[in-house]
Amino acid sequence: MATVNLKRLFASDNLKVGHSIFEFNSPGVGQIIASAGCDFVFLDMEHSGFGISETKRAIAGLRVGGIPVLVRPPSKEYHHIARALDIGADGLVLPMVASKEEAEYIIDCMKYPPEGSRGVALAIAHDHYQPGDPAKVLAATNRRIACVTLIETEEGIKNIDAIAAVKGVDCLWIGHFDLSCSLGINGQFDHPEFLKACRAVERAAKKHGKALGRLAGDPAGCIALYQKGYDVLCYAGDLWVYQQALIEGMTAIRAGCKPRRGAKGDKKK
Residues involved in catalysis = 47
- What is the C-alpha separation between 135 and 76, in angstroms, rounded? 27
**CA angle (82, 205, 89) in 5-degree steps:** 20
- What is the C-alpha separation between 247 and 252, in angstroms, rounded? 8
Q: Which long-range contacts (CB under 8 A, 24 or more apart) does 223-229 make?
A: 226/15, 228/202, 229/202, 229/205
Eight-state DSSP code of residue 39: S
Using CA of residue 260, residue 261, residue 262, residue 268, what is the dihedral sign? positive
CA-to-CA separations, 158 to 167, 195, 209, 210, 255, in angstroms, rounded: 19, 14, 19, 18, 51
Q: What is the helix (H) or strand (E) element at residue 140, kind and residue range? A: helix 134-144
- Gyration radius of the chain's alpha carbons: 21
3 state DSSP class of 214: strand
- What is the C-alpha separation between 72 and 178, in angstroms, rounded? 15
- What is the C-alpha separation between 20 and 207, in angstroms, rounded? 28
CA-to-CA separations, 202 to 14, 25, 127, in angstroms, rounded: 17, 33, 35
Q: Please, are residues 79 and 49 in contact by the beta-carbon 8 Å criterion?
A: no
